[in-house]
Structure 1
Amino acid sequence: MSAVSCLLSEDQFRCSICLDVFTHPVSTPCGHNFCKNCITQNWNINYSCLCPICKHAFTTRPDLKVNKLFSEMVAQFRQSAQKKANSRGLEQKVFKPGEVPCDVCPGTRLKALKSCLVCLTSYCETHLEPHLTMSGLKRHQLIDPVENLEDRICAKHDKPLDLFCKTDRIFVCMLCSALDHKMHDVVLLKEEYEDKKVKLGKTETTIKEMILKRRLKIQEMKQSAKRSEENAHMELAEGVRVFTSLKESVERGLIELIKTIEEKQRTTKKQAEAFIKELEKEISDLKKRNTEVEQVSRSEDQLHLLRRFPSLKAPPPTKDWTGVKVHPPVYEGSAVRAVVQLEETLSQEMKKLFGEAELKGVQKYAVDVTLDPDSAHPELILSHDQKCVCHSDVKKNLPDNPKRFSHYNFVLGKQSFSSGRFYFEVQVKGKPKWNLGVARESINRKGLITMTPKEGYWSIWLRNGNEYKALDAPSVRLSLKSQLQKVGVFVDYEEGLVSFYDIDATALIYSFTGCSFTEKLFPFFSPCTNDGGNNATHLIITPVKKTG
């Protein structure tokens, strides 16, 4: 078998499709051999069973059989070729499909290491040696192996295309440059190569930046999708909680109605049973007396009758039942009254639940707010952590910078916001008067002001311990069930919304809507004057503790 394989040429052991040594060779009915995988993929891609060599068409896909004899010959040839490559120290360098082969190698062609632009030939490691050692060949230009070297030769002058005409945007040789492109902008191929390489480097950098931006955008979108999913779960849980609470309220109302009706029924039944028991006792007494009367009246003993007559002449004492009645309880309207009461209860419960849900929703946008000393009126005292402020009668000697309030004892937050949503909470407990809200950056800080949205203020205040107002235009008197202890402030910049919340009651106090914000907004605070110590309590920016 080995002798037979040696008589065959190398090309006879190569598949005509992949051009590599056969792998699992099979024979078609027309007698040609192919790699089993190659011919199968060829037929799958072309949707027809056509022999790639003789073009014979098969009406049905043939049942391909492995050519065992030829398969053994291929295996022996592969082993023989591998041994030859190993003996020459060229293991792993045999030419493979997709690689450039050596143009000099006889028989099994090895992988080319370099291509010569002068010789227009590609060389493996062995055949390249003269170009590395012989002085005449050392001047030849070697490049990484490429195919179709003839495309790099000028078809007109048979010279290397080693120049580039920038005017015509074509490759030219030295004679082309001298004869046909004399007045053109012609540069060395290497020079144009370096220039384009730099530009490609910039393009590569740009593409990498674009890829990075898109990866970051993907990450951002994934995070948004994750937040959306988390919010959906939270909203679903909140919805279940609210509806469960309402359902429990309805069930309690039904239980209370059933209990009331059953209680009335038990009372009526108990009363009727007591009357019936009393009547039955009187009936029993009357029957007993009637029996005695009948016995005495039938007696012929004159003395006995006369002796019993005084005790039997009248019925036994009984109750006058003429006006006694068992009045059925009035059930009409009980269900209606219960539903009305339930409606009131549910309304209160819903307000509370919705207030909790709304407050919980805005508390997600809590930010860390601190007071800005550079804006504080000289009579205000700020805590070391810049979270508390109160008024002092002593006016400090401070530089009158453009940010500082000079007329009113106001102070702004250090943080500003020009987009999105933000929320913070302030403790006002124990203060009979204060101002609180947000203000735009361009407000007047030096003279008399009017605290309205037009002038750049969105705020509420307390005066005289119980007079709450939203300083809208016109101002709105606020009716609150209890005195505020802690106030939440929420702003949606894009929606033009400023809302104030009673934290303890989990209820909305007031909202400024339809606002048009065009500049930075700052948290705004005023503890007002201390009034001889009556209003000395601090305004305190407190950490946000989520409701529920």
Structure 2
Amino acid sequence: MTSRHSFCRSCLNRCWETGLRECSVCRKKPSKAKPPSNLALRNVCQALLEARRSSALDEKMNCNLHGEKLKLFCLEDKQPICLVCQTSKLHKSHDCSPIDEAVQDCKDELALSLKNLQVKEDNLKRIHMTSTYMSMYIKSQALETQRRIKGHFEQLHQVLYQEESARIAAVKKEEEEKIAGIKDMVKEQSAEEQSVTETISAIQEQLEEDEIVLLKNFKAIQDRERSIAPGSENMSGLLIDVAKHLCNLQYNVWEKILDHIDYTPVTLDPNTAHPCLILSDNLTSLRYSNQQSGCPDNAERFHMSAEVAGATSLGSGSHHWVVETGSNQDWLLGAASSSVPRNSEISARPENGFWTLCFRNGEFRAMTSPPTTLSVTRAPEQIKVHLDYDKGTVSFFDPADDMLIYAFSHTFTETLLPYFYTQSSHPLRIMPEKVLVTVLRQ
């Protein structure tokens, strides 16, 4: 208000911002930096707004159908009702509770829902973070796998290159030998040709000599002619033995490559390895480390102890693999069901889906229920695991003399995986096997 003239606050502020700080009616300028408020008018406006809010609240607290105050809460329809509504057909048979009780019950229920939703929100955030990290890990995993593939092929390329160089060198060597032989043969033939030419000249001279002279020299000329060996016309074996170099070349090279290639009947699945286990690049050995790797928390991974499974499921037939234990003093080896829990710690027992042999504290034990202590004449440096799925046996041998250490018997109902555990920094290594090539002739 200025000069007792009142204006809307928003209109007055717009006018004030233009710099023309004077009354729009009488054009008088105010004595204060800011226009004073009309307290009486402001109080009237606030009272009107409060009355409107109170009226709106009262309307909300009353039933829309009957105008009565909402005093009950229908437990079936989940809505507040008045006393008239309770006696109506819509709610007559429904259970109801007082508003005060319903409010507390609803608050408790909403609080529980809020808590559950917050847990879900936290889980979703965790899953989102895990998914983001897993995407990054997959990219890293792909690059590392490609690097290892290239490394393996570089080794094969090197073997092929060496074999190619050796075979080309063999051809060149034979070429040099054949050409040297031809040169020696030509040299001998040239000498023989020279001798024949000289003998011809000598005979022609004798034919022109006197008869007595001819007769005197006849025997010598005849002996000279007889001493000339007949020229060899045998030209066999002079060419390059092309068949020797090209016959079944790819097959022969493949056999040579097998001498440089290891075949391992079982390999490890890195996606199942506990973060404390370090696997070799070719996935045939494992060892324990106190520093965990930054692998993702995927469902297939063993989370509770230093375990890893083989990469191939075994559901039929007979299988075996040999593990070099060496100086490792803490290990379990054998087979496990594909469905064994990966995120909880359970005993490696047959009833839990494990058929294993344990070496710990210098003692061998078959992990039965309870474990069976085994007596062995000497501690083997290798253990052979033999699974006969159809016969239902998991057996352990000392491959040095094929002596049986222990055998489990069980009727398997699901696929099995090779199983490994260690808490030693000394590696367990799956031994390669010799590959034999058999040609079927029909």
TM-score by length of 2: 0.49
Larger RCO (CA under 8 A, 6+ residues apart): 2
